[in-house]
Chains A and B, each alone.
Chain A
Amino acid sequence: MKAIVNVYLKNGVLDPQGKAAHHALDSLGFNGVVEDVRIGKQIILKLSSSDEESAKVEVEKMCETLLANTVIEDYSIEIVK
């Protein structure tokens, strides 16, 4: 079983990388097509457990302690079998 964790800056926290990529897309001719760009990171965890519920609880703890800095970042967890 795998957990796919997506970590990204909270809404309202300026994302300098997203902004730079947005600017680059604009100058490549995609202006008007893209309204906003947010860049985050994806962390893929291979888990030994096969119980989805308990795995999700564990991964949430990992996000709160290490994987995300909840002062500036939000995260989402997807469990994949």
Chain B
Amino acid sequence: MKVSVLRFPGTNCELDTKYAFEKLGHSVEIIWHEDKSLPLDTKLVVVPGGFSYGDYLRSGSIARFAPIMKAVEEFANRGGYVLGICNGFQILTEIGLLEGALKRNNNLHFISKYQYLTVSNSDNTFLSGYNNDDVLNIPIAHADGNYYIDDEGYKSLEENNQILLRYCNKDGDRVVVNGSVSSIAGICNKNKNVFGLMPHPERAIETILGSMDGIKMLESFDR
């Protein structure tokens, strides 16, 4: 499978992401933000984590106008799989491929730690390797991960099973980590081909890293 990983000025997780997908046996190409098209055999686009454009103005607000993002939008609208991790999630909400927005964490801190997550909906490609209510342990590292959506939007996310991951404790009970509405850590679009999450699955793929819980998430696109 061909995975295209985007790189903007300030992106810093593209090589970890490449490593993770290569470990799973995929061919990975890093795509420069000024490119206007994706490799034709792309099966998955990853918008990786980092600090594109220094997080200036709002996280992801400038990257979303990069030339490559037009190609990503078209790819997504044709049903192609797009995965946004951390800053990638912020970029996908800014461009409108995902609903809602990511605000400054409610405690104003940059939070960097392992965090338990619960699977809210596994009825999608992204989390097809897990079961509902599974508890995963995956690192988070962000300042702007406080997911916001208005009440109406929230209802629609729930009705369409678009809420995929929530922050929880090790028993699976929801916890407040950054102030997100309903402890949301990750969502998908209505068509379930665009996924965004604040946690970093690519950092939980080897026992030496402390967890392998992220592997099934990255494998899922190959099913």
Bound-state Cα–Cα, A17 to B103, Å: 11
A79 CB to nearest B CB, Å: 21
In chain B, what residue has the closest Cβ to A65?
B65
B58 CB to nearest A CB, Å: 6
- A66 lies within 8 A of B61 (CB): yes
Kindly identify which residue among B94, B106, B179 contacts A69, using a CB–CB cutoff of 8 Å: B94
- B101 lies within 8 A of A71 (CB): yes
Interface residues on A, range: 10 to 19
Q: Give the residues in chain B near A66, CB-CB below 8 Å.
A: 57, 61-62, 65
- A72 lies within 8 A of B65 (CB): no
- B58 lies within 8 A of A69 (CB): yes
Bound-state Cα–Cα, A69 to B96, Å: 10
In chain B, what residue has the closest Cβ to A71?
B101
Q: Give the residues in chain B near A4, CB-CB below 8 Å.
A: none
- B148 lies within 8 A of A72 (CB): yes
- A71 lies within 8 A of B148 (CB): yes
Q: Give the residues in chain B near A16, CB-CB below 8 Å.
A: 103-108, 146, 179
Q: Give the residues in chain A near B146, CB-CB below 8 Å.
A: 16
Q: Give the residues in chain A near B149, CB-CB below 8 Å.
A: 71
* Chain B 49-82 near chain A by CB (<8 Å), digits 1 or 0: 0000000011001100100000000000000000
- A72 lies within 8 A of B103 (CB): yes
A20 at the B interface (CB under 8 A) = yes
B100 at the A interface (CB under 8 A) = yes
* Chain B 83-110 near chain A by CB (<8 Å), digits 1 or 0: 0000000000110000011011111100
Kindly identify which residue among B57, B94, B105, B148 contacts A13, using a CB–CB cutoff of 8 Å: B148
Q: Give the residues in chain B near A67, CB-CB below 8 Å.
A: 57
- B108 lies within 8 A of A69 (CB): no
Interface residues of A in 1-51 (CB under 8 A from B): 9, 13-14, 16-17, 19-20
Interface residues of B in 103-124 (CB under 8 A from A): 103-108
Bound-state Cα–Cα, A32 to B65, Å: 45
- A69 lies within 8 A of B104 (CB): no
A81 CB to nearest B CB, Å: 26
- A14 lies within 8 A of B179 (CB): yes
Q: Give the residues in chain A near B106, CB-CB below 8 Å.
A: 14, 16, 19
A44 CB to nearest B CB, Å: 14
- B65 lies within 8 A of A71 (CB): no
Bound-state Cα–Cα, A66 to B57, Å: 9
A68 CB to nearest B CB, Å: 9
Bound-state Cα–Cα, A14 to B149, Å: 12
Q: Give the residues in chain A near B62, CB-CB below 8 Å.
A: 66
Bound-state Cα–Cα, A67 to B103, Å: 15
For this complex, 13 residue pairs linking A to B, each with C-beta atoms less than 8 Å apart, are A16-B103, A16-B104, A16-B108, A16-B146, A17-B104, A66-B62, A66-B65, A67-B57, A69-B58, A69-B61, A71-B148, A72-B101, A72-B148
3 A-B pairs closest in CB distance? A71-B101, A72-B101, A16-B106
